[in-house]
C-alpha cells in the first residue's frame, strides 16, 4: 500500500508512511465517532425500552466516549495536518534537489518562471489534498465497508436501504468524472488557444497600435473569450447535472430507511431502537458520503499535479563519472543535433578546437554555430555523434568534472540578488576577498564597482537590475577570471554594448583567453581574423576551416561574409 | 468581504439578475432544508411518542421531499451562480483586453508579456471559486444556523437552548482557530519568501550548475522551505486544541448531554419526549456542524478571492493610470518635432530625461549617438507617440502630440525598434498589414525595397511562408527588414529607426543598411545606428550623455573640433579593429 501511495501521489518515503498512518487514524476516528451514537442507543434502551441500567454505567461510559473521541480526533489531527506540513517540506526539498540534478537542457527548454510557479502551486495543491482529502477518502472507504457489513448483518433490508443509494451515488460521481474530463479537455484546449492569442496580443502591442489594429484585435479577443465562456458552460453543464442528480439520489437513503423501517416497526419485526439506530447511521453516512464527494473532487485535481511532479523526477539525468581531465582539446566527431524533433540544426559536424588555441565559429545567422556552443557546454545534448574532451565523450563525464574545467561567458548574464562580491565569487566559491578583487580588476570591473554606493558590498537587485549591459558582462568575465578554467567558451559577448564598454571588455578578454582552449563566436568578423583557426559553418555543416587568409581563397561563404562586412563598414546613409 | 463581492459584481452588471436569483434560491434552499427537519421531528414524534406509524409514513415523504427540494434549489442556485461566475471571469479578461489597447508602451516595457498574460489568466480563473461556489455557500452558511436555532426552540426550549450554547461555544472556538492577525501575516510573508526563493533558485540554476555551487541558493531555498513549513506547522498546532474540541463538542454531544440529563432532569417524567428531544439535538447539531465548518473555510476562500481581485486591479490600474491621451486634431501643419522641457522616467524618482528641450526640422535626417543609458533610445521611443511624459510637451507641427487623434498621429509616424515582432501568419500578411487596402504590387515593391525578397527566397513557400511554423527561423536583423518593409508600405512622414545591435549578423547588416536607406527618402528621420561610420552624411548628429544633448552638428562640424563625438569615433575605430589574440600563439 505504501509503495502504491508513493507512486500514486508522488510522495517521499516518509510521506507515504505518513499517509498510511493518517488513513488508519482517519478510519479509527470514523469508527470512534460512532461511539457517541451507540451511547445514545444505550440511553434510549433505558428511556424507551425501559431496560434499567445504573446511572454509574452511563457516567463511566460517557467519560470513556469523551476520552476516546478526544484521543481519536487528536491523533487524526496530528496525522493529517502536522505530518502533512512535514511532508510538503520534504517534498519541496526533494523537488529542489531533483531540479539541480536535471540536465541543463531541461532548463533551456522550459520557461523557468512558469516552472517555479508550477512547482510552488503544485506542492501547495498536493499539501492541501493530503491534509484534507486523501486520507479522509481512504479512511471513509474502510469505514463504509465496516459499517455496511454491520448494518447488513443486523438487518439485511434496512442495511440495503442505507447502502445501495450511496453505492449508486459514487458510481455516478465516477461516471461524471469521466465525462467531465472529456469535456474539460475541450475547454482547456480552448483556453490554451485563448492564452496564446492573448500572449501574442500583448507581445505585439507596438505593432498592433502603430498599424491601427487595436480595434480588430480587441474584437477578435473579445469573441474568443466569449466563445471560451460558452465552451466552459457546456463543459461544466454535463458533469454538474450528473452530480446534482447524484446528490438527489442520496436523499433516497432517508426515504427508504424511514418507509421500510416504519413498516418493519409496524409489523413488529423490529424494535424502535433498531429503527432509530438505522436512521442515525443513515443520516451520518449520508453526511460522510457528501463530504467525501468534495474530497474526491479534490483528489481528481491532484492527478495532473502528481503527473507534473513525476515528470520532473523522471527526466533523464545527465549521467557520467567524475574524471580528472588532463588535456583540453575539444573534438567534435560527426555531431548532429535538433531541437525537439524538428529539422536538423547540425548535421555531421566534425572539427577540433586545440588546447592553447583560439577557435572561432563563423557563419550566417541560423547556421547552427550557437547550437555548437550550447552542445559543448552541455546546455543541450547531441542527438548524434560525439564530443570529446581529453579523448573522453563528454556524455560520460559528470557535469561537475566537466564544468570544473570550463568557463562560459554568454550574452545574457545571470546575476543573483546579493552583493557584487558574492556575485563574482560564484566563479570560485572558496575564493578570498582579495582573489575576488583581483579578478574584478583583471576584468576591468573595479572602476565601476568603486563608484557603487557600498563598493563590493553593494546589493545589485534582482538579476542585477541596477547595472548596465556592459557592467553585467564584465562581472561575468570577472567570474571567469576567478575560475581560471582551461577551457573558455565565449558567445558573442561584445554584441550588445556601446563603444565605451566594448573597449574595456576587449581589453580584459585578451587577458582571459591567454593559454586556454578558447571557442568563440563573434559577429564582428574582424575581431577574429588573427585566431588560430576559423571554422565556417553553413547549413548545419562545416563548410571549411583554416586561417583567415586561407579561407579567403578556399571558402565561398567566408569570403561572402567578409565582403558583406566590408560593405557594411563602408556604408554611409 | 462585502467589498470583494461588490467589486466582483461590478464586473458583471449585465448578469446581475443571476446574482439575485442565486441569493433567492439559496435562501429558499436553506428554508426548505431546515423545514425538512421539522418534518423529521414530526415523524419521530409519531414514531416515538404517539406510536402512529401511518402518520409517520406521511411525514417520511414530507421529510425526504423537502430535503430533495432543498437539494434541487441549492443545485439551481449553484447553476445560476456558475453562470454569473463565468461572466465575471470573461469580463475580467475583457477588461484586461481593453487595458492593453489603451496602455502606454511604458507598461509593456516594464512588464513582461508572459507575466501580464499569466496574471490575468490565473487570477481571473481564481475568482471562479469565490463567485460560483461561495455565494450560495455563504448565504447557506449564514442563514441555516439561525433557522436551525429557531427550529430547535420550536421543538422545545431545551433543544433550542442546547443548540444555542453549542453555537456560541463553537463560535468562540472558531475565533481561537482563526489565530492572531500577526500570525497570518508571518505565515504569508514566509509563503511569499518561499515563492521568490523558488523563482530565484530556478532562474540561477544554469549558473549554479555550471559553476558547481549549489550551496548558497539551495541553502536559501531550503531555509525558506523550512521556515514556511515551520510557520504552517505552528499555525496548525495553535489550531489543534480548539479544532479538536469543536469537533468533539458536535460528535460527542450525546456523551456530554447524557450525564447532564442524569444529573439534572427528573427521569420520572415523559421519557419518550426526552428521547425525542435528544435525538433531535443529535440530528440538528449534525447539520449545524456542517454549516459552521463552511463558515470556517469561508475566510480562507474570501482571502484568496481578495488576493486575486487586488492583483488584477493593481495590474489594470497600472494599465489605465498611464493610458494614452488623444485629442481631436487631424491636420498636421508641418512635421517639425519639438521637445519642450520633456521629463521622462520609468520610475518617478529616476528620470532618464530631465527637462530636455530641442527641435528637429522636417525632411532632415538626424542620428542619435551616445553610450548605453544616455537616453537616445528613450528619445526615439517618445517620438513614437506611445508614451506619456512626466513633464513638458512633445510637439509635432507645432502642436502637442496629445492633441491629435490616435489615427492621425500614427499615420504620420513609422518606427522600427530594436526588437520588432511578427504575427504568426504569412510574411506577406505581416507586411501588408501596414496599409489597409494595399495592392499586391505595393506590398511586393515594399518587400523588394526592404530586401525581404532575399529572405523569402530561402523558403519553399516564399512570401506565403508562415512565421512560427516548422523550420522557419528569422534572425533579428531579418525581422527588422520585415519591419522596414512595413514602414516603407506605410509611408509615414516621420521615420524612427533604432538599429538592433545585438541582432545584426554580418550577412544581414549591409542588407539592413540598404533597406533603411530606401525607407529614409524624403522623410524626417531619427536614427540610432551602431556603426558610427555609417552616419557621417546625416544632416545633424545629436550626441547624448546622461539624458542631455551635449553636442549637435554635422559630422564635419563635430569632427573639426575636439568634440565628444570625435572621441566616440576614435574609440569606435579601435574597437572595430580589435582582434582576439591568444598571446602565447602570437
DSSP A523: S
Residue B503 scores a pLDDT above 60: no
Across the interface, of B100, B207, B228, the residue whose CB is closest to A201 is B100
Chain B residue with Cα closest to A204: B421
Residues of chain A neighbouring B228 (CB-CB closer than 8 A): 89
Residue B535 scores a pLDDT above 60: yes
Say if the Cβ atoms of B571 and A499 lie within 8 Å. yes
In this prediction, residues B456-464 reach a mean pLDDT of 86
- pLDDT at A53 (0 to 100): 85
Residue A499 scores a pLDDT above 70: no
Residue B152 scores a pLDDT above 90: yes
- pLDDT at B501 (0 to 100): 63
Say if the Cβ atoms of B198 and A120 lie within 8 Å. yes
Angle A90-A96-A97 from CA coordinates, rounded to 5° = 90
Residue A164 scores a pLDDT above 80: yes
Binned at pLDDT 50, 70 and 90, residue B78 comes out as: confident
Say if the Cβ atoms of A62 and B258 lie within 8 Å. yes
- Residue whose C-alpha is closest to residue B18's, from B70, B90, B69: B90
Say if the Cβ atoms of B490 and A252 lie within 8 Å. no
- Residue whose C-alpha is closest to residue B507's, from A360, A371, A538, A410: A538
Assign domain A323-403+519-573 to its CATH architecture. Answer: 3-Layer(aba) Sandwich (3.40)
Residues of chain B neighbouring A225 (CB-CB closer than 8 A): 90, 93-94, 97
Residue A464 scores a pLDDT above 70: no
> How far B392 CA sits from the closest chain A CA (Å)?
23
Per-chain mean pLDDT for chain A = 84
Q: Within 13 Å, how many C-alpha atoms sit on residue B507's CB side?
A: 18
SS3 for B378-420, per residue? HHHHHHCCCCCCCEEEEEECCEEHHHECHHHHHHHEEEECCCC
- Most confident segment among A334-348, A400-414, B111-125, B148-162: B148-162
Question: Quick count: other Cβ atoms within 10 Å of Cβ B24?
Answer: 15
> How far A121 CA sits from the closest chain B CA (Å)?
9
**What does each C-alpha distance from B23 to B79, B144, B563 come to in angstroms?**
12, 13, 76
- pLDDT at A496 (0 to 100): 45
In chain B, count H helices and then E strands. Answer: 21, 10
Say if the Cβ atoms of B423 and A204 lie within 8 Å. yes
- pLDDT at B306 (0 to 100): 82
CA distance B144 to B131: 19
- pLDDT at A98 (0 to 100): 80
Residues of chain A neighbouring B120 (CB-CB closer than 8 A): 198
Binned at pLDDT 50, 70 and 90, residue B352 comes out as: confident
Say if the Cβ atoms of B527 and A573 lie within 8 Å. yes
Q: Are B514 and B483 in contact (CB under 8 A)?
A: no
Across the interface, of A203, A213, A514, the residue whose CB is closest to B421 is A203
Say if the Cβ atoms of A366 and B473 lie within 8 Å. yes
pLDDT in tens, A507-531: 777 778 888 898 988 877 888 888 8
- pLDDT at A351 (0 to 100): 93
In this prediction, residues A164-192 reach a mean pLDDT of 83
Q: Are B167 and B288 in contact (CB under 8 A)?
A: yes
In this prediction, residues A226-255 reach a mean pLDDT of 82
- pLDDT at B579 (0 to 100): 76
Say if the Cβ atoms of A65 and B255 lie within 8 Å. yes
> How far B391 CA sits from the closest chain A CA (Å)?
23
CA distance B31 to A562: 86
- Domains of chain A, by residue range, sit at 1-154, 323-403+519-573
Residue A206 dihedral angles phi and psi, to the nearest 5°: -60, -45
pLDDT in tens, A537-546: 998 899 999 9
Binned at pLDDT 50, 70 and 90, residue B54 comes out as: confident
> How far B157 CA sits from the closest chain A CA (Å)?
20
Say if the Cβ atoms of B279 and A422 lie within 8 Å. no
Domains and CATH numbers, chain B: 2-191+242-321 (1.20.1560.10), 337-577 (3.40.50.300)
pTM for the model stands at: 0.79
Q: With pLDDT > 90 as the criterion, what percentage of chain B qualifies?
A: 29
Residue B384 dihedral angles phi and psi, to the nearest 5°: -60, -20
Chain B residue with Cα closest to A36: B252
Alpha helix stretches (DSSP H) within A204-327: 205-210, 214-266, 272-314
- Most confident segment among A52-56, B357-361, B574-578: B357-361
Binned at pLDDT 50, 70 and 90, residue A3 comes out as: confident
> How far A4 CA sits from the closest chain B CA (Å)?
25
Residue A408 dihedral angles phi and psi, to the nearest 5°: -120, 125
Residue B255 scores a pLDDT above 70: yes
Binned at pLDDT 50, 70 and 90, residue B15 comes out as: confident
Residue B347: Cβ-neighbour burial (10 angstroms; 0-12, 13-18, 19+): exposed
In this prediction, residues B357-381 reach a mean pLDDT of 88
- pLDDT at A469 (0 to 100): 72
Say if the Cβ atoms of A112 and B43 lie within 8 Å. no
CA distance A74 to A67: 10
Across the interface, of A33, A115, A469, the residue whose CB is closest to B251 is A33
Say if the Cβ atoms of B57 and A262 lie within 8 Å. yes
CA distance A178 to A195: 25
Q: Are B163 and B284 in contact (CB under 8 A)?
A: yes
- Residue whose C-alpha is closest to residue A474's, from A413, A556, A404, A541: A413
Across the interface, of B210, B259, B507, the residue whose CB is closest to A561 is B507
In this prediction, residues A108-126 reach a mean pLDDT of 74
Give the relative orientation of helices B181-203 and B215-251 as an angle to the nearest 10 degrees: 140
Binned at pLDDT 50, 70 and 90, residue B586 comes out as: very low
**Torsion angle defined by CA atoms of residues B548, B554, B555 and B560, in that order, rounded to the nearest 10 degrees:** -90
Per-chain mean pLDDT for chain B = 86
Binned at pLDDT 50, 70 and 90, residue B517 comes out as: confident
- pLDDT at B386 (0 to 100): 87
Residues of chain B neighbouring A498 (CB-CB closer than 8 A): 370-372
- Residue whose C-alpha is closest to residue A271's, from A154, A188, A446: A154
- pLDDT at B400 (0 to 100): 92
- pLDDT at A385 (0 to 100): 92
Binned at pLDDT 50, 70 and 90, residue A306 comes out as: confident
- pLDDT at B179 (0 to 100): 65
- Most confident segment among A437-451, B163-177, B341-355: B163-177
CA distance B254 to B282: 7
> How far B87 CA sits from the closest chain A CA (Å)?
7
- Structure-block grid coordinates of residue B52: 402512529
Say if the Cβ atoms of A365 and B505 lie within 8 Å. yes
- Residue whose C-alpha is closest to residue A299's, from A174, A187, A188: A174
- pLDDT at A502 (0 to 100): 63
| Beta bridge partner(s), residue A541 | A538
Residue identified by cell 518606427 is: B415
- pLDDT at A542 (0 to 100): 92
pLDDT in tens, A14-30: 888 888 999 999 999 99
CA distance A352 to A359: 9
Residue B1 scores a pLDDT above 70: no
- pLDDT at B585 (0 to 100): 36
> Which sign, positive or negative, has the C-alpha torsion B150, B152, B154, B157?
negative
CA distance A498 to B572: 9
Across the interface, of A233, A503, A530, the residue whose CB is closest to B574 is A503
- pLDDT at A196 (0 to 100): 85
Binned at pLDDT 50, 70 and 90, residue A323 comes out as: confident
Residues of chain B neighbouring A276 (CB-CB closer than 8 A): 279
Across the interface, of A195, A492, A565, the residue whose CB is closest to B121 is A195
Q: Are A365 and B478 in contact (CB under 8 A)?
A: yes
Residue A498 scores a pLDDT above 70: no
In this prediction, residues B332-352 reach a mean pLDDT of 88
Please report the number of interchain residue pairs, chain A to chain B, with beta-carbon separation below 8 angstroms.
466
Say if the Cβ atoms of B536 and A572 lie within 8 Å. yes
Binned at pLDDT 50, 70 and 90, residue B268 comes out as: confident
Residues of chain B neighbouring A530 (CB-CB closer than 8 A): 579-581, 586
Amino acid at each position: 500500500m505504501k509503495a502504491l501511495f508513493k507512486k500514486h501521489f508522488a510522495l517521499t518515503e516518509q510521506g507515504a508512511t505518513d499517509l498510511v498512518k493518517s488513513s488508519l487514524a482517519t478510519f479509527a476516528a470514523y469508527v470512534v465517532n460512532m461511539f457517541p451514537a451507540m451511547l445514545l442507543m444505550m440511553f434510549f434502551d433505558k428511556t424507551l425500552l425501559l431496560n434499567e441500567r445504573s446511572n454509574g454505567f452511563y457516567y463511566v461510559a460517557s467519560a470513556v466516549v469523551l476520552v476516546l473521541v478526544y484521543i481519536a480526533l487528536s491523533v487524526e489531527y496530528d496525522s493529517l495536518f502536522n505530518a502533512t506540513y512535514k511532508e510538503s517540506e520534504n517534498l519541496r526539498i526533494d523537488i529542489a534537489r531533483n531540479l539541480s540534478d536535471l540536465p541543463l537542457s531541461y532548463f533551456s527548454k522550459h520557461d523557468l518562471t512558469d516552472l517555479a510557479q508550477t512547482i510552488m502551486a503544485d506542492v501547495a495543491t498536493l499539501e492541501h489534498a493530503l491534509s484534507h482529502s486523501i486520507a479522509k477518502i481512504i479512511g471513509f472507504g474502510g469505514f463504509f465497508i465496516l459499517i455496511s457489513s454491520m448494518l447488513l448483518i443486523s438487518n439485511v433490508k434496512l442495511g440495503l436501504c442505507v447502502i445501495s443509494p450511496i453505492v449508486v451515488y459514487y458510481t455516478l460521481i465516477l461516471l461524471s468524472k469521466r465525462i467531465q474530463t472529456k469535456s474539460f479537455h475541450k475547454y482547456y484546449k480552448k483556453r490554451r488557444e485563448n492564452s496564446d492569442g492573448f500572449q501574442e496580443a500583448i507581445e505585439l502591442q507596438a505593432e498592433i497600435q502603430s498599424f491601427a489594429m487595436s480595434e480588430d484585435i480587441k474584437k477578435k479577443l473579445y469573441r474568443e473569450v466569449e466563445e471560451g465562456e460558452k465552451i466552459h458552460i457546456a463543459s461544466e453543464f454535463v458533469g454538474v447535472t450528473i452530480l446534482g442528480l447524484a446528490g438527489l439520489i442520496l436523499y433516497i437513503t432517508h426515504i427508504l430507511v424511514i418507509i421500510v423501517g416504519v413498516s418493519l416497526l409496524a409489523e413488529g419485526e423490529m424494535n424502535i431502537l433498531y429503527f432509530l439506530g438505522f436512521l442515525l447511521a443513515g443520516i451520518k453516512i449520508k453526511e460522510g458520503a457528501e463530504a467525501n464527494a468534495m474530497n474526491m473532487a479534490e483528489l481528481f485535481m491532484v492527478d495532473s499535479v502528481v503527473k507534473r511532479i513525476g515528470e520532473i523526477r523522471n527526466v533523464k539525468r545527465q549521467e557520467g563519472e567524475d574524471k580528472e581531465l588532463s588535456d583540453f582539446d575539444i573534438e567534435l566527431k560527426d555531431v548532429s543535433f535538433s531541437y525537439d524533433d524538428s529539422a536538423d540544426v547540425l548535421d555531421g559536424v566534425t572539427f577540433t578546437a586545440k588546447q592553447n588555441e583560439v577557435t572561432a565559429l563563423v557563419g550566417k545567422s541560423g547556421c547552427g554555430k550557437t547550437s555548437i556552443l550550447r552542445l559543448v557546454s552541455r546546455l543541450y545534448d547531441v542527438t548524434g555523434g560525439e564530443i570529446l574532451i581529453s579523448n573522453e565523450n563528454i556524455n560520460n563525464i559528470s557535469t561537475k568534472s566537466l564544468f570544473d574545467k570550463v568557463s562560459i561567458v554568454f550574452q545574457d548574464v545571470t546575476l543573483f540578488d546579493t552583493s557584487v562580491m558574492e556575485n563574482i565569487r560564484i566563479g570560485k566559491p572558496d575564493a578570498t576577498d582579495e582573489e575576488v578583487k583581483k579578478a574584478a580588476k583583471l576584468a576591468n570591473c573595479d572602476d565601476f564597482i568603486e563608484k557603487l554606493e557600498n563598493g563590493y558590498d553593494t546589493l545589485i537587485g534582482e538579476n542585477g537590475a541596477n547595472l548596465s549591459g556592459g557592467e553585467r558582462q564584465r562581472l561575468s568575465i570577472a567570474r571567469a577570471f576567478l575560475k581560471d578554467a582551461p577551457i573558455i567558451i565565449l558567445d558573442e559577448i561584445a554584441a550588445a554594448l556601446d563603444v565605451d564598454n566594448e573597449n574595456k571588455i576587449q581589453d580584459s578578454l585578451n587577458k582571459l583567453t591567454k593559454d586556454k582552449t578558447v571557442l568563440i563566436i563573434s559577429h564582428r568578423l574582424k575581431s577574429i581574423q588573427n585566431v588560430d583557426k576559423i571554422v565556417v559553418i553553413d547549413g548545419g555543416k562545416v563548410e571549411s576551416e583554416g586561417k583567415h587568409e586561407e579561407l579567403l581563397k578556399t571558402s565561398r561563404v567566408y569570403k561572402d561574409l567578409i565582403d558583406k562586412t566590408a560593405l557594411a563598414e563602408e556604408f554611409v546613409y | 468581504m462585502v467589498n470583494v463581492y461588490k467589486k466582483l459584481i461590478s464586473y458583471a452588471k449585465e448578469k446581475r439578475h443571476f446574482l439575485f436569483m442565486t441569493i433567492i434560491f439559496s435562501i429558499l434552499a436553506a428554508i426548505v432544508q431546515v423545514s425538512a427537519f421539522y418534518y423529521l421531528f414530526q415523524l419521530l414524534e409519531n414514531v416515538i411518542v404517539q406510536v402512529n406509524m401511518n402518520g409517520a409514513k406521511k411525514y417520511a415523504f414530507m421529510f425526504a421531499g423537502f430535503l430533495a427540494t432543498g437539494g434541487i434549489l441549492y443545485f439551481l442556485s449553484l447553476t445560476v451562480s456558475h453562470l454569473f461566475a463565468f461572466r465575471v471571469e470573461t469580463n475580467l479578461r475583457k477588461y484586461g483586453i481593453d487595458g492593453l489597447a489603451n496602455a502606454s508602451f511604458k507598461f509593456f516595457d516594464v512588464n513582461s508579456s508572459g507575466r501580464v498574460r499569466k496574471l490575468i489568466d490565473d487570477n481571473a480563473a481564481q475568482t471562479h471559486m469565490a463567485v460560483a461556489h461561495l455565494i450560495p455557500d455563504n448565504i447557506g452558511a449564514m442563514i441555516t444556523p439561525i433557522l436551525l436555532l429557531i427550529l430547535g426552540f420550536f421543538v422545545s426550549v431545551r433543544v433550542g437552548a442546547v443548540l444555542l450554547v453549542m453555537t456560541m461555544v463553537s463560535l468562540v472556538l472558531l475565533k481561537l482557530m482563526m489565530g492572531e492577525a500577526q500570525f497570518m501575516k508571518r505565515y504569508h510573508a514566509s509563503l511569499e519568501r518561499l515563492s521568490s526563493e523558488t523563482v530565484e533558485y530556478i532562474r540561477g540554476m544554469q549558473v549554479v550548475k555550471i559553476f558547481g555551487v549549489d550551496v548558497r541558493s539551495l541553502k536559501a531555498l531550503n531555509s525558506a522551505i523550512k521556515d514556511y513549513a515551520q510557520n504552517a506547522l505552528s499555525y496548525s498546532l495553535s489550531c489543534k486544541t480548539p479544532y479538536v474540541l469543536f469537533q468533539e463538542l458536535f460528535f460527542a454531544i450525546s456523551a456530554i448531554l447524557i450525564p447532564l440529563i442524569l444529573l439534572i432532569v427528573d427521569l420520572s417524567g415523559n421519557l419518550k419526549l426526552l428521547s425525542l428531544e435528544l435525538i433531535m439535538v443529535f440530528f440538528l447539531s449534525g447539520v449545524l456542524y456542517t454549516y459552521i465548518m463552511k463558515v470556517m473555510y469561508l475566510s480562507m476562500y474570501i482571502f484568496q478571492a481578495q488576493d486575486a481581485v487586488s492583483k488584477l486591479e493593481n495590474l489594470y490600474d497600472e494599465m489605465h493610470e498611464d493610458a494614452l491621451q488623444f485629442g481631436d486634431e487631424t491636420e498636421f501643419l508641418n512635421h517639425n518635432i519639438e521637445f519642450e522641457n520633456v521629463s521622462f522616467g520609468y520610475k518617478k524618482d529616476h528620470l532618464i530625461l530631465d527637462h530636455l528641450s530641442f527641435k528637429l526640422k522636417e525632411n532632415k535626417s538626424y542620428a542619435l549617438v551616445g553610450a548605453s543609458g544616455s537616453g537616445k533610445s528613450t528619445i526615439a521611443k517618445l517620438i513614437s507617440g506611445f508614451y506619456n511624459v512626466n513633464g513638458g510637451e512633445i510637439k509635432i507641427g507645432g502642436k502637442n502630440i496629445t492633441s491629435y487623434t490616435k489615427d492621425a498621429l500614427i499615420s504620420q509616424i513609422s518606427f522600427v525598434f530594436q526588437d520588432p515582432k511578427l504575427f504568426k501568419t504569412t510574411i506577406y500578411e505581416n507586411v501588408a498589414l501596414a496599409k489597409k487596402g494595399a495592392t499586391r504590387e505595393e506590398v511586393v515593391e515594399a518587400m523588394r525595397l526592404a530586401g525581404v525578397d532575399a529572405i523569402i527566397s530561402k523558403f519553399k513557400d516564399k512570401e506565403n511562408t508562415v512565421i512560427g511554423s516548422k523550420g522557419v527561423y528569422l534572425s533579428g536583423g531579418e525581422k527588422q527588414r520585415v519591419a522596414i518593409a512595413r514602414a516603407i508600405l506605410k509611408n509615414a512622414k516621420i521615420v524612427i529607426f533604432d538599429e538592433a545591435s545585438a541582432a545584426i549578423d554580418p550577412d544581414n547588416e549591409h542588407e539592413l543598411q540598404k533597406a533603411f536607406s530606401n525607407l529614409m527618402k524624403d522623410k524626417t528621420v531619427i536614427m540610432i545606428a551602431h556603426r558610427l561610420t555609417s552616419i557621417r552624411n546625416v544632416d545633424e548628429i545629436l550626441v547624448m550623455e546622461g539624458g542631455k544633448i551635449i553636442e549637435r552638428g554635422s559630422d564635419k562640424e563635430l569632427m573639426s573640433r575636439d568634440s565628444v563625438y570625435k572621441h566616440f569615433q576614435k574609440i569606435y575605430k579601435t574597437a572595430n579593429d580589435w582582434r582576439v589574440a591568444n598571446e602565447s600563439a602570437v
